[in-house]
With several copies, the nearest count.
Chain A
């Protein structure tokens, strides 16, 4: 048989994703799984998945998982990690989950320097519930709960989560990445890997924000969605490493 140069990572079950065509969730799942494979920690990894489009991620990840309540994944992960300090614990969260209802939990997990990793999927909208405004929805962006466009005068400007968490000592690694093209995918994977390594070396909390598309609720084709992300999200949410123990910025 032919040698296989690229295949599904072991940490991903061989089942189809329920995500919409072109949704970046699938790519991000795969990157996480690849990192876990490469770090050889599948055997001691416990994933905590959110309420959001990735609510069924426990069907996809091939390691132990917990399904947390909406927004509370960092608290749940804290409970897990404190019971098994030698395990590798991560949360996978959307922007509604992490930045809206779960704002206190992520801030405090970061402040505590909780030794967990967070993969934060920012698609500027609530996917699962049908396209409502998120704290990360861009100004003027139309969603079903900002039908006249997000009005910063009434609801403020979007929250930049990385920048906010960077003010907390316990957060040791903070990066914002995207998976809009192969080069950025490589950087994204490197950042996710780093975020797991930080945890494994016991340094503290690490988070990687991944800019992501929601073609369905943005009302675009997958390719249009990528272009929209590049044109609209990237300027407001600059990619880069905001904090790292090596002190490398950007």
Chain B
């Protein structure tokens, strides 16, 4: 089962990952990380198809895709 793993403290909340996800499951969380940004997160891991779009779109290499 593919799964996006977020290195949350590296996230700057830029939202670039959110728009590329074909399943629209990458969303911005309603909390702050240690840097003061609202980080991206996966709203429903079960839907992840492992397309790696979010990971590729992220300028800060926040996201790993585990298989």
Contacts and interface: CB of A to CB of B under 8 A. Distances in A.
11 contacts: A5-B50, A5-B65, A16-B10, A22-B16, A23-B59, A26-B61, A182-B20, A182-B57, A215-B14, A222-B15, A226-B16
Interface of B: 2-3, 10, 12-16, 19-20, 37, 50, 52-53, 55-61, 63-67
A223 B12 CA distance: 13
Interface residues of A, number: 28
Contacts of B65: 4-7
Contacts of B59: 17, 19, 22-27, 30
Given A6-B64, A24-B59, A226-B16, 6 more contacts: A6-B55, A16-B10, A185-B56, A185-B57, A221-B15, A223-B15
Given A16-B10, A22-B12, A22-B14, A4 B64 contact: yes
Nearest to B1: A2
Given A16-B60, A23-B59, A2 B3 contact: yes
A8 to B, nearest CB: 5
